[in-house]
Amino acid sequence: MKIFLYDTFFIFNSVTKMGNIEAPIIGKDALGRKVEDLSVVSWWGIDRKEIEWYPKIEYNKCSSCGLCFVTCGRRVFDWDIESVKPIVAHPYNCMVGCNTCAMLCPCEAIKFPDKSYLRKVTTKARVVKKALAIVNSIVLNSEKEKSKT
C-alpha cells in the first residue's frame, strides 16, 4: 500500500476535527458548497490563529476581476459591493502553504509571507516528523490486518 505525505495531511485534519472540535459552518463558497470555520482547527498542533499565513491585497493594483473571490474554496474572501473589491474576511480559513489566489491574480495584487516564514512554521510544528509517524502507524496497522487474514 502506497501512502503519500499529502494523504496524511487529510487524515491528520480529519482526526483533529473528530478528536476535538467540530468546526461551525461560516457560509458557502461561490459554487454554493458549505464552508467550515477552519480557524478553530489547529494546524499540526499549532493554533491556526498563531500562523500569519493569509493573503494581503494591494488595492492600488487590484482590477476588481473577482478571480480570487470565485476561486478560493475556503471563503477567505468576501466581496465588497460598494468598492467592487475583494476583502480578506476569513484570513485564518486560508490553507497554510496555499498561494493559489496570488498565482491566479492577473495584477499581482495578492501577497503572502515568503517561503522562509513557511519553513519556520513547518519546522516549529514538526510537520514532517508527525506526518511520517502517521504513515508508519497506518502501514503497521495494515500489516497487522493482513497477517490476520
Q: State yes or no: residue 76 binds ligand SF4 (CB under 6 A).
A: yes
Helices (H), 5-126: 5-19, 67-71, 100-104, 115-124
- Distance separating alpha carbons of residues 69 and 76, to the nearest angstrom: 8
Burial of 44 (0-12, 13-18, 19+ CB in 10 A): buried
- In single-letter form, the type of residue at position 58 comes to E
To ligand SF4, the closest distance from the beta carbon of 142 in angstroms equals: 32
Q: State yes or no: residue 67 binds ligand SF4 (CB under 6 A).
A: yes
Residues 6+ apart with CB under 8 A from 138: 1, 3, 8, 11
Stretch that binds ligand SF4, among 3-11, 26-34, 66-74, 133-141 (CB under 6 A): 66-74
* Nearest to ligand SF4 of 27, 106 (CB atom): 106
* Nearest to ligand SF4 of 95, 138 (CB atom): 95
Q: State yes or no: residue 83 binds ligand SF4 (CB under 6 A).
A: no
Q: State yes or no: residue 3 binds ligand SF4 (CB under 6 A).
A: no
Q: State yes or no: residue 74 binds ligand SF4 (CB under 6 A).
A: yes
DSSP for residue 22: P
Q: How many residues would you count in the chain?
A: 149
Q: State yes or no: residue 62 binds ligand SF4 (CB under 6 A).
A: yes
Question: Do 57 and 85 form a contact (C-beta atoms < 8 A)?
Answer: yes
* Nearest to ligand SF4 of 101, 127 (CB atom): 101
From the list 35, 38, 51, 105, which residue makes contact with ligand SF4 (rule: CB under 6 A)? 105
Which residues here bind ligand SF4, judged by CB under 6 A?
Answer: 55, 57, 62-68, 72, 74, 76, 86, 94-95, 98-101, 105-107, 109-110
